[in-house]
A and B are shown apart, each in its own frame.
Chain A
Amino acid sequence: MSLGQGLAFTLNGRTLSAAEGSIASPSMRLLDLLRLQAGFTGTKEGCGEGECGACAVLVDGELVNSCLVPVGQLHGRSVTSIEGLPRTDPLVEGFARAGATQCGICTPGMVLAARALLDRRPDPSLDEVREALAGNLCRCTGYARIYSAVLDAAAGVRPPVEGGT
């Protein structure tokens, strides 16, 4: 059977469907649907080849690169972009306090990669954080503050606002 008007999935808690016109084509990239159609521009396009992680989002809690996902494969799934993450998530404050953000292009993907890790491993080691974030490239920070932001969020630590390394 072909995928007709039946295609529907959830995006940040809202239902999108082909029938009501909120999904134009099954071959559209999830990235384009997010940015151009749904207006969720927190998701960034970096390489468009699945190598940089700037477009990473969660599908049923698993990290994926939205530039490599045709929306036709999302039927019945639940997509969370950075806009769908609660502002109270400890990672938000962790990134802010650790100074883990500079230009910000990688940040939404980094935060969601970290969320996927912490959902699976609430108390990860530094090596586990490094592996979980290995597909998310940052050209500003050198990663150290990003790793400490994730470890601090996991530990529930409130690091000092000033200072750092």
Chain B
Amino acid sequence: MSAGAASAADWHRPSSLAEALAIRSRAGSAVVAIAGCTDLMVGWNAGARRLPPVLDLSALDELAAIEVGPDAVTIGAAASCARIATHPVIAARLGMLAASARQTGSVAIQNRATLGGNIMNASPAADNPPVLLAYGARVTLASVRGSRTVAYEGFHTGYKRTLAEVDELLVSVTVPFPASDASIHYRKVGTRRSQAISKVAMAAVIATTVDGAGRQVRAARFGFASVGPVPLSAPTLSAALMGERLVAVDRDRVEHALATDLSPVDDIRSTAAYRRQVAVNLVMQAIAEAG
């Protein structure tokens, strides 16, 4: 049976973003913003929390649009993983995002789960954030005060905490296309291939310059899940690889850099030691494939 029921009066289902922002401005954290409900309902079903008043964003078509620009795709926060996974431009030019959306739970989950929910639910194990970090995505927040766009890197300020103010809603995510010659790598490691929660996931975009002596790193950006309290980029590793020849990248250096960037723990899904080792393996694999 359902957890304690919210009455119809506590169920806000605005038909425009302006109306949604007005409710958010008035009610703040007294309303929980919901969209696909694929994670929130699990907690509610378990009876862990009484159902709070909700701000249901699922009727807002304007929040579900996917717009292709010359340099980036802007994805509405309420766009489903299924639509992201099958969008032709995302599949062709942001392949890691199509892949992570397709690995977010099963088909039945992907039909409901939204990109905005995956970000705002703020799980360190969320499937799409590593890819967004590696691509250098930006997120746009809106409130009755106006809207602002910030880098997604740094958006998660602590476990289950974000930069979003209490009156703000995440409205869209802008994902720039990587350089056409960049090499991309996404890998989710879980207990089984389908609908597992990741033990470690890594996304990488590695841009290189070629000369007679091989490939040299021009820029390398990473995103990781399940190896810290929030989805993590790896600035120390990115800096360490800058200008390096791919064939000369040494495992110890990668391991040393990741020791600074990542802070995995032992939990029900894996151990800190396993996660560190797999993270290094995934980076070395990405470097080998980029070469």
Contact = CB atoms under 8 A, between A and B. Distances in A.
A22 interface: no
B291 to A, nearest CB: 30
A28 B125 CA distance: 28
B8 A4 contact: yes
B109 A27 contact: no
B13 A3 contact: yes
B149 interface: no
Contact of A2 (B13, B82, B108, B194): B13
Interface residues of B, number: 37
A126 to B, nearest CB: 15
Interface residues of A, number: 37
Interface stretch (B34-42, B69-77, B133-141, B232-240): B34-42
Contact of A3 (B5, B12, B34, B42): B12
A113 interface: yes
Interface string A1-32: 11111010000000000100000011111001
A28 B37 CA distance: 13
A2 B41 contact: no
Contacts of B82: 62
Interface string B1-38: 11001111111111100010000000000000010011
Contacts of A5: 8
Tell me the dominant secondary structure on chain B's binding face. loop
B37 A134 contact: no
A27 B13 contact: no
B6 A134 contact: no
Interface stretch (A48-56, A97-105, A146-154): A48-56
B6 A56 contact: no
Contact of A69 (B5, B8, B112): B112
Given A1-B19, A51-B195, A75-B13, A134 B107 contact: yes
Contacts of A134: 106-107, 193-195
Contact of A29 (B2, B9, B14, B111): B2
B45 interface: yes
A56 B109 CA distance: 10
A77 to B, nearest CB: 10
A69 B44 CA distance: 11
A68 B115 CA distance: 17
Contacts of B9: 2, 4
Contact of B41 (A1, A29, A63, A131): A29
A116 interface: yes
A64 interface: yes
Interface string A62-88: 111101111011010000000000000
Interface in B98-127: 105-109, 111-112
B1 A32 contact: yes
Given A29-B45, A67-B41, A72-B54, 20 more contacts: A2-B10, A4-B8, A27-B5, A49-B42, A50-B38, A50-B105, A50-B109, A53-B106, A64-B111, A64-B112, A65-B109, A68-B45, A68-B112, A69-B112, A72-B11, A75-B59, A134-B107, A135-B105, A135-B107, A135-B195
26 contacts: A3-B12, A4-B8, A7-B8, A18-B8, A25-B6, A25-B8, A26-B11, A29-B41, A32-B1, A50-B38, A50-B42, A50-B109, A64-B108, A67-B41, A68-B45, A68-B109, A68-B112, A69-B37, A70-B37, A70-B41, A72-B11, A73-B13, A73-B37, A73-B56, A75-B13, A131-B194
Interface of B: 1-2, 5-15, 19, 34, 37-38, 41-42, 45-46, 51, 54, 56, 58-59, 82, 105-109, 111-112, 193-195
Interface of A: 1-5, 7, 18, 25-29, 32, 48-51, 53, 56, 62-65, 67-70, 72-73, 75, 113, 116, 131-132, 134-136
